[in-house]
């Protein structure tokens, strides 16, 4: 059984999903950047030895 939805309902759902996901994506990007910085520090320390 299929239920038809309007384009407005689809846009609303997309917008809602984007609002929910944006903070999570930003958080993951921030964590990834922190991890990259830590790896760069470790790499520099190893090169200095």
Judged against a pLDDT cut of 90, whether residue 49 lies above it is answered with no
Encode pLDDT of 17-45 as tens digits: 999 999 999 999 999 999 999 999 999 99
Query: Distance between CA atoms of 5 and 10, rounded to whole angstroms?
Result: 7
pLDDT of residue 46: 95
In whole angstroms, what is the distance from residue 10 CA to residue 41 CA? 46
Mean pLDDT of 7-23: 98
- Candidates 31, 11, 35; CA nearest to 23 is 31
Q: DSSP secondary-structure letter at 4?
A: -
């Amino acid at each position: 059984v299929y239920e038809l939805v309007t384009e407005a309902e689809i846009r609303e759902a997309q917008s809602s999903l984007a609002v929910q996901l944006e903070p999570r994506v930003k958080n993951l990007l921030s964590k990834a950047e922190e991890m990259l910085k830590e790896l760069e520090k470790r790499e520099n320390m190893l090169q200095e030895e």
